[in-house]
Amino acid sequence: MLILGIETSCDDTGVAILRDNEVLCELLSSQIKFHADYGGVIPEMAARKHLENLLPLVNIALSESKISGRELDLIAVTRGPGLMGALMVGVQTARALSQVWGVPLIGINHLEGHIFAGCEGLKPPFLSLIVSGGHTEIITVRDFGDYELLGQTRDDAAGEAFDKGAKILGLKYPGGPEIEKLARSGNSKAFNFPVPLKNSGLVEFSFSGLKTALLWQVKKFASSEELQANMNDLCASYQAAIIEALIAKIRLAVKLTGIHQVSISGGVSANGALREALRREKGFTISLPELKRCTDNAVMTALAGQNRYLREGITNSEVIADPSLHEI
């Protein structure tokens, strides 16, 4: 199968062409530099950048793969969840290309895409932790297409906690990589930040209280110089609390389900300290995506689309952007 994958759920424009599981071309246009001055993604700006980038990327991908659009067997596009304007650019473009080329179109849940990004080499059943700026949840993958949500965050996602924590510390956006970089030279035990819901018997997350704890700690410093002197230790301690919160719930999910295979995906899965901590765990085996597949990308959309197409074929339902889409 020749598959075109399109991903525009947030601020990355992704296009990929696969022949079965072989990646013929993978392109990604990041918008980080356009949103950095605002400390976060501006939805309207993100949609406009997708409009500028998407069709040129599709044309480049076809050229580099040495195929025409009419040779494709399938177009897979992310239809939600995500930012409405961004999703609409991807979905409407995919619908137009599908009609012009006479190629079947399938809409993919962004979360199912992340499951496929992190599960290379795994056979169901396994647990999938999706941890990003917009999502923190653990899903039981009984089989591809058969998913159960075990638990999710009550409030902020882990990636959002990194970004908002960085803002409290006066660091630039995106905050996760900045905190990780400074944490390498810090003492993770210097500040005793709470590990949210660590001892709860439920598979659930919460990071709002941890952010508040960081804010109050920053307020205790008498000057900006004192804050800077403690910056590395603050980053290391804050990061350690987030990581322990994530791993504690993986341990609980493994205990409750008896499933000992775990895949991790989403932008936070690129965090080096998290990856090292997961590799040290003895109670379960870990599947981690390569770094370029941690964040949003079109390869995961194409893989999920191919699998869903082979399972279910094409239904008669129209592919519509849905920013609040939950059911995978």
Using DSSP bridges, classify how beta strands 126-131 and 74-80 pair: parallel, antiparallel or unpaired.
unpaired
For residue 29, is it within any domain?
A: yes
What CATH number did the domain enclosing 254 receive?
3.30.420.40
Do 137 and 259 lie in one domain? The reply is yes
What sign does the CA torsion over 101, 102, 103, 106 have?
A: positive
321 vs 301: CA distance, rounded Å: 14
Residue 270 sits in the same domain as residue 308: no
Look at residue 91 in the predicted model and tell me its pLDDT: 97
- Indicate the number of domains in the chain: 2
What integer pLDDT is reported at residue 325 of this predicted model? Answer: 87
Nearest to 203 by CA among 161, 157, 254, 261: 254
Count other Cβ atoms within 10 Å, centred on residue 317. Answer: 7
- List Cβ neighbours of 50 (8 Å cut-off, separation of 6 or more): 8, 13, 86, 89, 90
Same-domain status, 180 and 52? no
- Asked if 318 contacts 15 with a C-beta cutoff of 8 angstroms, the reply is no
The pLDDT of residue 33: 86
Any domain includes 325: no
Burial of 311 (0-12, 13-18, 19+ CB in 10 A): exposed
Question: Are 281 and 304 in a shared domain?
Answer: no
Indicate the average pLDDT of the chain.
95
Q: At what angle do helices 110-118 and 298-312 cross, to 10 degrees?
A: 100
Structure tokens at 117: 């990004």
Given a cut of 70, the residues of the chain with pLDDT beneath it are 315-316
Does 323 reside within a domain?
Answer: no
Domain presence at residue 320 = no
- Per-residue pLDDT tens over the stretch 120-157: 889 999 999 999 998 999 999 999 999 999 999 999 99
Query: Does 169 lie in the same domain as 80?
Result: no
Does 322 reside within a domain?
no
